[in-house]
Amino acid sequence: MEWQWIQRGRADAESQVRRWLAGRLGGTPEALPLQRDAHGRPRLGAPLAGYDLSWSHSGDGLLMAWANGQRIGVDCEQLRPRPRAVEIARRYFTDGETAWLATHSNEARDAAFLRLWCAKEAVLKAHGRGLAFGLDRLEFAERDGALQLRSCNAALGPAGAWTLRELVPASGVIAALASIDAALLPALAA
């Protein structure tokens, strides 16, 4: 598994990802079998179907990741004031997550909210339905300073099988990379 953060410039994200991945997996960027599933999730087809990829953009930055034998999802967000953080958490997060946010001072709450947001969206992007799946159908909790998936809907597989890497890929950017053994993630319902 590997991730990279780059400044995107004018190029579109998929072209950048193609160039980056072709440099690692071989072949030309144009020939990389990068496809989209019915929900818009990028995936790799044969002969690279055992690999997975995900990317996320924020401002001019692009976070991209790939893995072999695992399903992965990445998400990144700019750290900036989020005056509606608590309101959004109450509406879309679980009660446990909202209570955890409330333990933070006003100054620390924006970063905590974004850590949670990125963690949840990273898992949902790995799964493939994105936010449409429901942010309240998975719950993260902080343990020893790191967020871990505590419980989730059965469609996401066993909560304990997920690994979350919290990343700070650039100054003022918060990100997460979620991964699970591809064999442990139930097939996506149509």
- The site for ligand COA (CB under 6 A) is made up of 13-14, 39-42, 55-57, 75, 125, 128-132
Minimal distance, residue 116 CB to ligand COA, in Å? 14
Minimal distance, residue 66 CB to ligand COA, in Å? 12
Minimal distance, residue 98 CB to ligand COA, in Å? 20
**Cβ distance to ligand COA smaller for residue 33 or 130:** 130
**Cβ distance to ligand COA smaller for residue 30 or 103:** 30
**Cβ distance to ligand COA smaller for residue 12 or 102:** 12
Minimal distance, residue 47 CB to ligand COA, in Å? 21
Contacts of 86 (CB under 8 A, 6+ apart): 98, 101, 102, 109, 113
Minimal distance, residue 97 CB to ligand COA, in Å? 18
Task: Compute φ and ψ for 189, nearest 5 degrees.
Answer: -70, 145
Bridge partners for 173 per DSSP: 78
Ranked by CB distance to ligand COA, the top (closest) residue is: 130
**Cβ distance to ligand COA smaller for residue 91 or 102:** 91
**Cβ distance to ligand COA smaller for residue 75 or 97:** 75
